[in-house]
Structure 1
Amino acid sequence: MQRLFGGEFGSQIAWLLPTALLSLVVLVVAAGRAGRTDKTRAFAVLWGGWLVVTGLVFSYMQGIIHPYYMIALAPAIAALIGAAASVLWRRRSEWLARAALAGGALLTAGWSFSLLNATPTWQPWLRWTVLIAGVIGAGLVLLLPELQLHRTALRRAGLFAGALLALTALAGPAAYSVQTISTAHSGAIPTAGPAGAGGGFGGGRPGGMGGRMGTSPGATTGQGGTGTGGAGSTNGQGGTATAPQGGGGIGRFLGGAGTSGVSSELVTLLQQGAKGYTWAAAAVTANGAAPLQIASEVPVMAIGGFNGTDPAPSLAEFQELVAQGKVHYFIGSGGGGMGGRGGSNGTSSEISAWVTANFQAQTVGSTTVYDLTGN
């Protein structure tokens, strides 16, 4: 799970991830040799399975992956830590339970310090506050039962220790949340926290890159300077990522500009041409089809799926749909070429080439449109 602890991913989800794994062990041990229907064990299997399986998928998956996907781990992390903390607190009179609770506090404090240290100039006091609170809280949890205190004093000290543990666990993520809420963001690929946040095994991220793309065919990734790609800007602090399909397609409409790139002439054409057709138009990639459909409120087919690399529909299937009169227009680029490309040998390219060779192009607004009825 190294990916989850480093770089962008660590600062998005890893704050309590080590403690969640420890909590899973605690719950399994607490269940012991209880019966098959034991609720604690069932709880551990359910949420532990969620955490481990999802974490492994994110750790080893190839292709397109963005840090905000990590939100899928949050319910399991919260459930495991909450349950384990409850079990250990109820059994805090036992030395082993106190040791586990204190160990979790120290683990959380140390790891939060590491993540916050990735941005040493941003709120530098916070990482030390978290670390000191964790050490003091862990010490109180371990030593309080050994101290000869009056019941009232012992209760107050216990509440103080609990408050320190909560501060240790939540101060870092809460600070990131406040920073994110209070900072203007734009684009379609959000990341939380200050620019350059990262840490763990993978180092920081330069200005907040919006996501990562792995080895999927035909996919590229960008970071840094501005552009017109479908991915849009990341978090208002870094550059604009390029569109998965590259250059000039209608997918540019989604890059934080919403439907502003869809001309009123094109909207009128689609609305007037929708009657009697299953799809008023077809466009390569979801980034190409979505803004058209949103702006015109008529059905638009997304050829090739999200980034144009899926073989759906095939060329033969698309030709059959056209022959049946189910698709009225094919949308090309804003500058005269075809829309998304879907790889040089992909199905999307085959469809684009077939349309180019067999139908007349016209310019509507600044967009190239092909009338598939031959009119």
Structure 2
Amino acid sequence: MTTTRLLPRGAQPVAATAQLIGRATTRARLALIVLLAATALLYLVGLDASGWANAYYSAAAQAASESWLALLFGSTDAANAITVDKPPAALWLMGLATRLFGVSSFVILLPQALLGVASVGMLYVTVARYVGRRAGLLAGVVLALTPVATLIFRFNNPDALLVLLLIIAAYCVSRAVETASVRWLVLAGVLLGTAFLTKMLQAFLVVPGFALVYLLAAPTTVARRIGQLLAAGAAVIAAAGWYVLLVELWPAEQRPYIGGSQTNSFIELIVGYNGFGRITGDEVGSLGGGGFGSDPGPLRLFGTEFGGQIAWLLPAALLAFGIGLWLTRGAPRTDRTRASLLLWGGWLVSTALVFSVMNGIMHAYYMVALAPAIAALTGIGGALCWPRRDDPVVSGVLAGVVAWTGVTGYVLLERAGTALAWLGPIVLFGCLCTATLLLVAPRRTRGIAVLTSTALLLAPLGFSVATAASPQSGALPSAGPGRAQGDAGAGNRARGGGAAGMLHAPEPGERLVSMLRAAEATSTWVAATVGSNSAAGYQLATGAPVLALGGFNGTDPAPTLAEFQRYVAEGQVRYFIGSGVDLTPNGGSDAANQIAGWVADNFASTTVDGVDVYELPR
């Protein structure tokens, strides 16, 4: 069996792949334009209904609009007290947007929506290059309609940039496999290093799959393949390492404290709180000694917490991966179709395995990292199986995929409650009818093709539209209807005291806002309060720096009690705002609690707009 015989109609062999988009038929170009326009519509309409969305990152974008140092380090305030607990690459986009167009909800969220449209387009190009335009189109549609993707591309968490960078890296690996090109492989390494500066070690979950496909399929000797992979690894280190080196060498007293660390160290953040601690659960500084999410296990991604985010076509993708490898079993080592399957299958398997066994903090929106692989495998599997559907085995697999998808959609829609319960029986009935037709009349082409696509996509379409129509806010968004205020369900409930009050930004009243704005001219920080989300609410309302004691969880030793006392003595902080949060640090610093206690013992409070406010001496 040769490579070209394995390619479905519309696929491009290596000699004919250049200028894929330029050579596309008018109908194919129109289909891509419609896909991108519909994706933009889904991601952009009513975009600012979520207000500041994740106020934690919105406050950092506001700070970046006023301070280049805050932009560089990802500070939560323009006076540069402390950074967010992630690398700042995504904030660079948001910060530059606010510098160009001003600070507003729409300006902060717009880059995320555009990243989403670009991700859909880039996935189309990557899949279509070897498996055909129809496969690319189906992959793009599946990605656009994956509920967690709709959520993230309308929100301002860093994951939107992460997804696009990883898809482009996958494209570069595909190009490298064509001719054993070290240039394309090194570029993939640069993109992975940049993705590291977006969400640290999560960016590397795709690396095993990428390395495996290159080792197996690149048309050159084993020694040269290994050497080129080492060069790509060096590119990853260089692309990520320059920033790590910059932070570690910059004098600590001249930069903000590294949020999420206990020692003001970016390296600690990499290996600890945002690194291996997520796997082991040993995350110093988390609240209450617990994480978020359901218990680890093989069915975790189908459970109540994560199923509605990503599981809609997960069974279809896994079956497509398996049947695709079977159909390409006799192909040459360098077969491009099988290389594509291994690329996306490796991405899916390695990432899903890690997400399934993680003992640390695990949020529902992390599932967006699986969406491109699921979408690509669905498109590739459909393109490989559809022309062979007269084969009883293949038609049986297709029917099984559709039926299984219908059952999955029905269960997930039932879990969503009354808002979408009516859709579940329609999805189940449609999928079962379609599965039956695939078995008894597989050669009917157009009618069954349309029916199959509709049956597969109806449930995620309904859930995604409901997600887009539901305003989201808070630190822990979750796809689905009626999820306002970041209510992510059981998967985002805190296990331990104090966390719930740390995850949402307050909306201060007019009197308090006026008081804080009046203090801006004479203070470095108009106020201090425990936790970055609490500080973000006051900062966004006033446009003035607010000191976030203890960072995101309130458990970082920044500032210490002695440092805060010095700030007060120098008149740098005008007010202290009580948060009403009782922190239970998991091995983290108790400095924020100490500061709150010291303020309560030494200064009188006044209730302003329902909040305890302590006036500090000038």
Class of the TM-score when normalised by the shorter of the 2 chains: 0.5 to 0.7
| RMSD between superposed Cα atoms in Å | 3.9
Q: Of 573, 587, 604, which aligns to 1:328?
A: 573
Q: 1:361 to 1:23 in 2, by over 3 A?
A: farther
Aligned to 1:209: 489
| Corresponding residue pairs, total | 312
Q: 1:43 to 1:280 in 2, by over 3 A?
A: farther
| 1:165 matched to 2:406 | no
Q: Which amino acid counterpart does residue 595 of structure 2 have in structure 1?
A: I
**Does the 8 A contact of 2:502 with 2:534 survive in 1?**
no
The C-alpha deviation readout for 1:123-178, integer Å capped at 9, x for no partner, is 76643433333233233334446xxxxxxxx5xx2111112211221112222334
| Structure holding more helix per residue | 2
Q: Distance in 2 between matches of 1:171 and 1:19?
A: 14
Matches within 5 A, 1:185-334: 185=471, 187-188=473-474, 190-193=477-480, 209=489, 211-213=491-493, 215=495, 218-220=497-499, 242-244=500-502, 254=505, 258-260=507-509, 263-274=512-523, 277=524, 279-309=525-555, 311-313=556-558, 315=560, 318-319=563-564, 322=567, 327-329=572-574, 331-333=576-578
Q: Which amino acid counterpart does residue 492 of structure 2 have in structure 1?
A: R
Aligned to 2:398: 101
Q: Which amino acid counterpart does residue 132 of structure 1 have in structure 2?
A: F
Q: Which amino acid counterpart does residue 445 of structure 2 have in structure 1?
A: G
Aligned to 2:438: 141
Aligned to 1:342: 583
Structure 2 runs not aligned, ≥5 long: 1-297
Give 1:81 deviation, angstroms. Answer: 0.9
Q: 1:99 to 1:306 in 2, by over 3 A?
A: same
Q: 1:36 to 1:187 in 2, by over 3 A?
A: same
1:331 partner SS: strand
Aligned to 1:83: 380
**Does the 8 A contact of 1:266 with 1:364 survive in 2?**
no
**Does the 8 A contact of 2:299 with 2:356 survive in 1?**
yes
| 1:369 matched to 2:614 | yes
| Structure holding more strand per residue | 1
Aligned to 1:353: 597
TM-score, reference length from structure 2: 0.43
TM-score, reference length from structure 1: 0.67
Structure 1 runs not aligned, ≥5 long: 146-153, 197-206, 221-241, 246-250
The C-alpha deviation readout for 1:247-272, integer Å capped at 9, x for no partner, is xxxx6xx25xx444771333224422
Q: Distance in 1 between matches of 2:393 and 2:312?
A: 24
| 1:11 matched to 2:308 | yes
Q: 1:264 to 1:195 in 2, by over 3 A?
A: closer
Aligned to 2:200: none
Give 1:107 deviation, angstroms. Answer: 1.4
Q: Distance in 2 between matches of 1:264 and 1:59?
A: 44
Q: 1:301 to 1:36 in 2, by over 3 A?
A: farther
Q: Distance in 2 between matches of 1:262 and 1:210?
A: 36
Q: 1:308 to 1:106 in 2, by over 3 A?
A: same
| 1:92 matched to 2:389 | yes
**Does the 8 A contact of 2:416 with 2:480 survive in 1?**
no
Aligned-pair identity (%): 34
Q: Distance in 1 between matches of 2:360 and 2:569?
A: 35
Q: 1:51 to 1:300 in 2, by over 3 A?
A: farther
Q: Which amino acid counterpart does residue 367 of structure 2 have in structure 1?
A: M
Q: Distance in 1 between matches of 2:374 and 2:402?
A: 15
Give 1:319 deviation, angstroms. Answer: 4.8
**Does the 8 A contact of 1:9 with 1:67 survive in 2?**
yes
Aligned to 1:204: none
1:282 partner SS: strand
1:14 partner SS: helix
Q: Distance in 1 between matches of 2:501 and 2:613?
A: 19
Give 1:289 deviation, angstroms. Answer: 0.8
Q: Does 62-71 or 170-179 show the bigger shift?
A: 62-71
**Does the 8 A contact of 2:550 with 2:557 survive in 1?**
yes
